[in-house]
Structure 1
């Protein structure tokens, strides 16, 4: 993820950010200096993802590819995931985050290497100019000691079942509803993500199953998030960042005022309005790397200034932890060399850099050498 702040000189505005530890900035362009860029996200009808006709799926992929190249974000409408699953999960989020803090802190994310479990308000701080991210959350992910996940993986390597548990689940009687509720959502999003992977392959002029061999046991996460209304103008729900997975699917609660914002080429924040029965889909850093920068991993943030409670359920999808990936052959430039990297190693480096906290303790990121 990347942090961002905004500074102003006498003549220029800039949005400054750090993406994976590398600083960058984008000038705010207006008037005659403005570039042609997006001012809203496209809506793409995903009914074709279930078509038996390859031509229908290719037609969908063409629209998806254009959005990934030009924006990095789009709405997936008519996605086919049961509305009842989504509504029930939002109900579960509201119930979970209303639990007493001591019940939630049983699974505090500082107890695990992968930062799984509960994150309290202001513990994250992606924007160093703020007092911290004004949100609380719960993170779970790939854990092949969880039987709920094994049933989704027909080609799963048996050797991986000997891993140590990665997820934490609350044991208090008032919170026992949480695990089955999250796994119902996880199961639906996992199935949709596997289909989405085929559409991304087609959009890159690759065979539909091109990525299947590196996603037999993919890295996945569900992050349940609660954003209370912001009372201070200087607050931010989560600082501006890019995601460091393959792609992200976001289901956001219905609020009158949009909280999610995407940064366009002119350095302006474009609001992402909650759309009924739609996912917000975005390209993340892995997919940008694999496309040689052809697709955009776009900076985004959350500012919940609409005086409503907001809930969000992003689902993150990446290749296998032990997969090796590089830029696909036909997107390589002549004369350039391209590094192959191990997905899990890259992911852990980014996690160590970006998942710093307000806890007053030295994090693994701070123990790394500069630049890493």
Structure 2
């Protein structure tokens, strides 16, 4: 159990440029810094990456143009009409733990797999083709950014491997075709906004998240149950531990609960939820498999966990569950079952 994740009042900053070094000692030293941030906060800034400012700017520009379009046009690309959970997410579509509807809209993408891909043909949830709006340059900008951010995710996973005393490529075997989702998220301007949540408190269901935000609003729960501001830093990503890394490390890394405060400033946010392959079974690594950890974290299918959490939070999927068109996998956890939120369940969200 993580005894360190308590008193932080700001997020650590980790310069990961050393993870790109040819010198193993430099990579190890950087991994140790990464490890401390993951243990102490589970949420941290990453600098020294190789995602260009041009790729970031193009993504933001196309998101701004898309979300400024008329609602009826955006609904042509409604996620509920897609084959692989891709497309436009209107305000109120998502409902997190506690029944709160989100005050945001989004556009969801992922690895663009063709219909004849074996995993897609087999009906693997959350894998398949993207939905692209009729907006010139949109697909190119989003795809370019996705590839760059995904490459960063691979680098971070190698750093986590070193930090955890594993072979540097340990997690590579789980990254052949993961359902890693890139979301373009828009929090509209609201001049009357009160200091209240704009997106409900939650953990992320995957291994970790790489976030590019454009404005303040993100809050992180520390180990005492207090909400800590996480404002943007120029050319830095916000990275947070997800449910699967919490399981793999037996709670040594905590999937830190977070939310978006309802602020008056218009805000765009671009999380890449870095997942492992759908069929991956995740349980505490031998190093962390104490009796307590094994009891708390039984083996879980990464893909089934992601699908179950998604199906419980998207209205169109909840409706399919109610109609019997979908069934949750056996042993599915309820929303908000990981992280500090689960440990402070009685706190007001």
User: TM-score normalised by the shorter chain: which range applies?
Assistant: 0.7 to 0.9
Q: 2:81 aligns with which of 111, 115, 134?
A: 111
Residue 233 of structure 1 deviates from its aligned partner by 2.2
Q: 2:118 aligns with which of 148, 155, 159?
A: 159
Match of 2:306 in 1: 347
Name the CA distance, whole Å, in 1 between partners of 2:132 and 2:289: 47
Match of 2:340 in 1: none
Determine if contact 1:138/1:225 at 8 Å carries over to the other structure. yes
Determine if contact 1:227/1:310 at 8 Å carries over to the other structure. yes
Match of 2:14 in 1: 44
Residue 127 of structure 1 deviates from its aligned partner by 5.5
Q: Give secondary structure in 2 for the equivalent of 1:243.
A: coil
Residue 59 of structure 1 deviates from its aligned partner by 0.7
Max Rg structure: 1
1:237 aligns with 2:198: yes
For each residue in 1:221-240, what CA deviation from the matched residue of structure 2 results, as whole angstroms up to 9, or x when unmatched?
10000112342427532111
Name the CA distance, whole Å, in 1 between partners of 2:234 and 2:308: 36
For each residue in 1:144-171, what CA deviation from the matched residue of structure 2 results, as whole angstroms up to 9, or x when unmatched?
2189xxxxxxxxxx63364677344245
1:213 aligns with 2:182: no
108-117 vs 187-196, which moves further: 108-117
Match of 1:78 in 2: 48
Name the CA distance, whole Å, in 1 between partners of 2:285 and 2:317: 42
1:94 aligns with 2:53: no
Q: 2:287 aligns with which of 330, 344, 349?
A: 330
Q: Give secondary structure in 2 for the equivalent of 1:59.
A: helix
Write the mapping of 1:148-297 to structure 2, written as runs, cut at 5 A. 159-160=118-119, 162=121, 166-172=128-134, 175-230=135-190, 231-233=192-194, 236-253=197-214, 255=215, 258-297=216-255
78-87 vs 120-129, which moves further: 120-129
Name the CA distance, whole Å, in 2 between partners of 1:181 and 1:127: 33
Name the CA distance, whole Å, in 2 between partners of 1:274 and 1:80: 18
Relative to structure 1, the CA distance from residue 371 to residue 95 in structure 2 (aligned partners, 3 Å threshold; closer, same or farther) is: closer
Determine if contact 1:304/1:310 at 8 Å carries over to the other structure. no
Match of 1:30 in 2: none
Residue 371 of structure 1 deviates from its aligned partner by 6.2
The TM-score normalised by the length of structure 1 is 0.78
Q: Give secondary structure in 2 for the equivalent of 1:40.
A: coil
Structure 1: stretches of 5+ with no match in the other structure: 1-34, 148-157
Relative to structure 1, the CA distance from residue 371 to residue 328 in structure 2 (aligned partners, 3 Å threshold; closer, same or farther) is: closer
Root-mean-square deviation (CA, aligned residues, Å) is: 2.7
Residue 214 of structure 1 deviates from its aligned partner by 1.5
For each residue in 1:42-80, what CA deviation from the matched residue of structure 2 results, as whole angstroms up to 9, or x when unmatched?
111111111001111111111111111111001001212
Determine if contact 2:17/2:48 at 8 Å carries over to the other structure. yes
Relative to structure 1, the CA distance from residue 177 to residue 99 in structure 2 (aligned partners, 3 Å threshold; closer, same or farther) is: farther
1:139 aligns with 2:123: no
Structure 2: stretches of 5+ with no match in the other structure: 335-349
Higher strand share: 1
For each residue in 1:262-300, what CA deviation from the matched residue of structure 2 results, as whole angstroms up to 9, or x when unmatched?
011222211101100000000000000111111110110
Relative to structure 1, the CA distance from residue 46 to residue 366 in structure 2 (aligned partners, 3 Å threshold; closer, same or farther) is: farther
Determine if contact 2:205/2:244 at 8 Å carries over to the other structure. yes
